[in-house]
Structure 1
Amino acid sequence: MALKQITRVNIAEKVFEQLRDQILQGTWKEGEKLPSEQELTETLGVSRSSVRQAIRTLADYGMVETRNGTGTYVKRQISGNYMLNIVPIGDLQFEDIVEVLDFLCLIEDSVAAMAVQRCTQEELAELQAIHKRLIAAKDQNDLEALTNVDVEFHSKIAMITQNSLVVQTYALLLEFLQPVMHRTYVTLGAEEGIPYHERLIQAFCAHDAVSAKNVMGAHAQNRRDKFLALQERIEP
């Protein structure tokens, strides 16, 4: 059996996921102050730098705001119950996944166009860096890392829009789609999806919102079509 390179666990990402889930579930409500960095460090058993990075990510997602001298507070969120009704947690059925993919087909192209119009040079550099890591994971045939970076790529595009509704919706939908994306890579190979990302990067570099919209629309439709094709293989 061939040995596979071990994927390093990103502690800050795990901290972010726990904090995000607490906010979405209503444990910490709008306007409520999060526990201090020291409290989170002790409770979670992680370094303070990991906690700080997780909080920065929450802020990027528009979920919290840090006020100088007072701490970090929860911002207005999409209703947790509302979102859970859109995407059932814990037991996604075939029909649920198709609905999510259909929804992304409706919005992803417009999200990409908005992101191109609002993208700064710094954000473009960050998006390009994520794409380079995507290529590296593909070259190593590390499908787990490839899936994670793929999700990060689309999440970054959502964050570039500076629209908290878009960011929070993507955060939830992409989490549920991650297993589907991984299965697609396992079945169809590491090259799947890469050409679309490369064309998206080109559109961002050219500040071409129309091209970005067309490429992302084709990408979303291709993702849906490939999922249906894979399902037919499993259940002929």
Structure 2
Amino acid sequence: MTLATRSRPTLVRQVIDQLREQVASGEWPVGSRIPTEPQLVEALGVGRNTVREAVRALVHAGVLECRQGSGTYVISADEMTGAVTRRLAGAQAAEAVEVRRAFEVEAARLAALRRTPEDMAALDGALADREAAWRAGRVEDFVEADAVLHIAIVAAAHNTMLAELYASFAKTMLRPSIAAFVGDELHSEDRGGHDRLVEAIRAGDATLAAAEAGAFLEV
């Protein structure tokens, strides 16, 4: 049975899977414009309505975005990231801090149990960059170094789902959340806590690591 002779629901699902694969493989990277509807019809050998339904499904899933007069663009590599990003876009600042705490406390606990020498090297490097930015009074560099440190802690937890969810959060909310807390100038209270957190992870003390991670995210 050829692609064009399959039943409509099955055909739409197959086209959705094919389009999703183009994104997942990197052939259509995030930010790129996908082929036009006529080009997709020709390439896939299906009707316009089938292509429209498939594209509409991926738009609803947050993978694609239709821009009037410009075309359809890839905005996320997968449905989960797209859905999380859409939800976070309307989040309140207090909610963002609560979500950070939920992610980062558990990530710190797991990192203390699972960290590798490579993880610790990444944490030490990020902590050093954070310290250097603080000493120099460079707010933007400090915010970036702080974000990189927290992302490295989540990576050290070695939980793929947690890392993917946190990446979606970090893309939309992490840096703005840190920047809002820091403000326009760096102060002494911005510096503390993170060295103790890294040392707790190094020592394998899961309870202390979780406590340190939560201490500077009280809401």
TM-score, normalization: structure 1?
0.57
Once the two structures are TM-superposed, the CA of residue 164 in structure 1 deviates from its matched residue by 2.1
- Are 2:210 and 1:209 aligned? no
- Taking only aligned residues, the RMSD between alpha carbons, in angstroms, comes to 2.7
Conserved? CA contact 2:104–2:214, under 8 Å: yes
Q: Deviations over 1:194-227 (max 9, x none)?
A: 3210111110221111100111111221xxx4xx
- Are 2:195 and 1:195 aligned? no
- Are 2:87 and 1:86 aligned? yes
Cα distance in 2 for residues equivalent to 1:35 and 1:84: 19
Once the two structures are TM-superposed, the CA of residue 187 in structure 1 deviates from its matched residue by 4.8
Matched residue count: 153
Letter in 1 for 2:101: C
Aligned residue number for residue 218 of structure 1: 215
Q: Describe how 1:161-172 pairs up with structure 2 within 5 A.
A: 161-172=157-168
Q: Deviations over 1:125-173 (max 9, x none)?
A: 2201110111100010000000000000000011112222211222222
Aligned residue number for residue 72 of structure 1: none
Letter in 1 for 2:156: I
Cα distance in 1 for residues equivalent to 2:196 and 2:160: 26
Cα distance in 2 for residues equivalent to 1:219 and 1:87: 21
Aligned residue number for residue 181 of structure 2: 184
> SS state of the match for residue 29, structure 1?
helix
Aligned residue number for residue 126 of structure 2: 130
> SS state of the match for residue 189, structure 1?
coil
Would the alpha carbon gap of residues 154 and 78 (structure 1) be closer, same or farther in structure 2, given more than 3 Å must change?
farther
Structure 2 stretches of 5 or more lacking a match?
Answer: 1-19, 33-76
Letter in 2 for 1:29: V
Cα distance in 1 for residues equivalent to 2:81 and 2:169: 13
Once the two structures are TM-superposed, the CA of residue 186 in structure 1 deviates from its matched residue by 2.9
> Of the candidates 20, 26, 29, which is equivalent to residue 23 of structure 2?
29
Cα distance in 1 for residues equivalent to 2:79 and 2:107: 18
Cα distance in 2 for residues equivalent to 1:190 and 1:171: 28
Conserved? CA contact 1:108–1:220, under 8 Å: no
Would the alpha carbon gap of residues 101 and 119 (structure 1) be closer, same or farther in structure 2, given more than 3 Å must change?
same
Aligned residue number for residue 96 of structure 1: 92
Letter in 2 for 1:86: R
Q: Describe how 1:6-45 pairs up with structure 2 within 5 A.
A: 28-30=22-24, 32-34=25-27
Cα distance in 2 for residues equivalent to 1:34 and 1:212: 40
> Of the candidates 117, 126, 131, which is equivalent to residue 121 of structure 1?
117
Conserved? CA contact 2:154–2:163, under 8 Å: yes
TM-score, normalization: structure 2?
0.61
Once the two structures are TM-superposed, the CA of residue 78 in structure 1 deviates from its matched residue by 5.3
> SS state of the match for residue 79, structure 1?
helix
Structure 1 stretches of 5 or more lacking a match?
Answer: 1-25, 41-75, 226-236
Identity value in percent: 20
Cα distance in 2 for residues equivalent to 1:177 and 1:105: 11
Larger mean Cα displacement after TM superposition, 146-155 or 115-124: 115-124
Cα distance in 1 for residues equivalent to 2:103 and 2:159: 13
Cα distance in 1 for residues equivalent to 2:78 and 2:159: 12
Larger radius of gyration: 2
Cα distance in 1 for residues equivalent to 2:154 and 2:79: 15
